[in-house]
Structures are given as C-alpha cells and as structure tokens.
C-alpha cells in the first residue's frame, strides 16, 4: 500500500539534474510531492491528479502516469537549496481520506 | 506568519509519564492530522479530525489519544510513553480531505524524547 520511491538516495553536484520516481500497486487518484529538510516540517511542492498531467515550478517539475500508477519528480539544474528528503504521497482511487507517504529519497547537492 | 504552530518544539519525558503535544492553526482548515515520523522514515498517520469527527487509523496504539476542542486547536496525548514512542510528531491541516485536491500544511513538529 505504501508507494515505493527510487532511488533511496542521490548525491549530485550543483547544476546537475535528478529524477525521483514513485510507484504504487494501487490505482491512484492523486500524487503529492513534499520536500523535508533536516529537522524541519515537510513543505508542499505540488499535487498531480489523474489524467496524466504534468506540473512545474521553476526548475522542479513532475509527471503522473495513472496507467502505470507512477509519478516522477524532475529537478533540473539543481541548486544547493534543493537538498533534503523528497516524499511522494499517494491518494488511491477510492479517494480515501488520507495520504500514504513513501519512505523518501534523500537528495544531497554538493557545491 | 506561522500558519501551523506546534508546542513545544522539543519535549523530554520519562518512560510511562503522560505527555501532551499541542497544535494550533490560523488557516481555519476543517481537517487536522497527527503524524508520527521516526528517523529516516516516512510520516505515519495516527489519526485525523474532519471538523469534530475523529478518524483513528487501525494500527494506531490505544496509548495515543487526541482532542480537538475547537477549530484552531488539536492535542495529542500519549498516556504512557514507551521508548518506542520517541519520534518527531507532526501536525498538519488541510481545508478538505486528502481525496480532494487540497494541500496539507505541516507544522514544524515536536521532537519527543523518552528517557
């Protein structure tokens, strides 16, 4: 039931690109992406709804393939501020009243 | 301005000594959630309130209780903390339930240490 994220951890140099994947065994209604820095609360990045939509905010974008029950988060030309743990959270097609979070992907950006 | 406030930020308690964590929000959101997050793990939902309606997760231990006296405040009571309850406790709010498109806004968390 918990979505599976990959990779578990990524180390990049500033300016490099990264892709974080999130997959579920259940049909999904929506996917939520959050970033959490050490010792801080998770911060909302974006929601993707069924319909295969894509979204973007500056150099961070995401896609959602409902047929494959997968979502991917794309970080382009990474900045030091992108460091943190990225969580995807899924809401299944029953539109259950909760988000189930994956275990997270740790991203570390080196100068 | 802070939208979801949690107090205290750090709480130390003794094994078996009851503890209460507090969450308040200025967003006037209908839904308030409590999550438990252990080191390097995903946030785990304990329970949530939709207005005054309480929804407990099936695997939440009886040791954990919650109160929501009004729209703005929600409390997490741990009746007899064990060593395994040491974690970060996150409060979150949303206008509607997760099955809508509403964002969850998280507070900064309370880190609980059990001695």
B60-95 pLDDT, tens digit each: 999 999 999 999 999 999 999 999 999 999 999 998
- Closest-CA residue of B relative to A45 is B103
- Closest by Cα among A90, A82, A79, A76 to A106: A82
Q: Which two tokens stand for residue B61?
A: 């231990």
In terms of C-beta density within 10 A (0-12 exposed, 13-18 middle, 19 or more buried), how is residue B102 classed?
A: middle
Tell me which chain B residues have a C-beta less than 8 angstroms from the C-beta of A2. Answer: 42
Interface membership of A38 toward B (CB under 8 Å): no
Q: With residue B27 as reference, give the H or E element that holds it.
A: none
Q: With residue B98 as reference, give the H or E element that holds it.
A: none
Is the pLDDT confidence value at B98 over 70? no
Q: Which two tokens stand for residue A57?
A: 């905010």
More confident residue, B5 or A68: B5
Is the pLDDT confidence value at B99 over 70? no
pLDDT value of residue B53: 92
pLDDT value of residue A5: 97
Measured CA angle at A36 (ends A103, A63), to 5 deg: 70
- Cβ–Cβ below 8 Å for B104 and A32: yes
- Cβ–Cβ below 8 Å for A98 and B48: yes
* B48, B101, B105: residue with CB nearest A47: B101
Strand duo A54-57 + A60-65: pairing: antiparallel
Which 3 state secondary structure label does DSSP give A14? coil
Is the pLDDT confidence value at B19 over 70? yes
Is the pLDDT confidence value at B51 over 80? yes
User: Around Cβ A70, how many Cβ atoms within 10 Å?
Assistant: 18
Interface membership of A98 toward B (CB under 8 Å): yes
DSSP letter for A39, please.
T
Question: What average pLDDT score do residues A28-37 get?
Answer: 91
Kindly report the nearest CA distance between residue B79 and chain A, in angstroms: 25
DSSP letter for B104, please.
P
- Cβ–Cβ below 8 Å for B42 and A96: no
Kindly report the nearest CA distance between residue A41 and chain B, in angstroms: 5
Q: What is the pLDDT of residues A34-83, one digit of tens each?
A: 999 988 889 989 889 876 666 666 789 999 988 888 999 999 999 999 99
What gap in Å lies between CA A75 and CA A107, rounded to an integer? 10
* A41, A91, A100: residue with CB nearest B106: A41
* B42, B48, B101: residue with CB nearest A87: B42
Question: What average pLDDT score do residues B31-53 get?
Answer: 93
Which 3 state secondary structure label does DSSP give B3? coil
Tell me which chain A residues have a C-beta less than 8 angstroms from the C-beta of B27. Answer: none
Give the confidence band of B31 by pLDDT, cuts at 50, 70, 90.
very high
CA-CA-CA-CA torsion for A68, A64, A40, B83, nearest 10 degrees? -20
Is the peptide bond prior to A7 cis by the omega test (within 30 degrees of 0)? yes
pLDDT value of residue A11: 96
């Amino acid at each position: 039931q918990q979505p599976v994220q990959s990779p578990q951890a990524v180390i990049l140099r500033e300016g490099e690109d990264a892709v974080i994947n999130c997959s579920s065994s259940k049909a999904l209604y929506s996917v939520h992406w959050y970033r959490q820095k050490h010792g801080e609360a998770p911060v909302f990045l974006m929601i993707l709804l069924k319909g295969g939509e894509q979204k973007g905010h500056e150099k961070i974008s995401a896609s959602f393939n409902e047929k494959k029950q997968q979502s991917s988060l794309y970080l382009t030309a990474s900045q030091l501020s992108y460091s943190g743990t990225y969580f995807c959270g899924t809401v299944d097609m029953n539109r259950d009243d909760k988000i189930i979070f994956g275990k997270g992907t740790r991203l570390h950006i080196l100068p | 301005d802070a939208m979801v406030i949690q107090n205290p930020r750090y709480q130390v308690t003794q094994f078996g000594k009851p503890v209460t964590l507090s969450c308040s929000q200025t967003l006037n959101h209908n839904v308030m959630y409590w999550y438990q997050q252990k080191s390097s793990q995903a946030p785990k939902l304990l329970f949530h309130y939709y207005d005054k309606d309480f929804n407990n997760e099936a695997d939440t231990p009886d040791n954990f209780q919650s109160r929501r006296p009004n729209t703005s405040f929600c409390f997490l009571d741990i009746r007899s903390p064990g060593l395994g309850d040491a974690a970060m406790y996150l409060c979150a709010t949303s206008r509607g339930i997760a099955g809508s498109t509403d964002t969850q806004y998280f507070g900064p968390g309370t880190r609980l240490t059990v001695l």
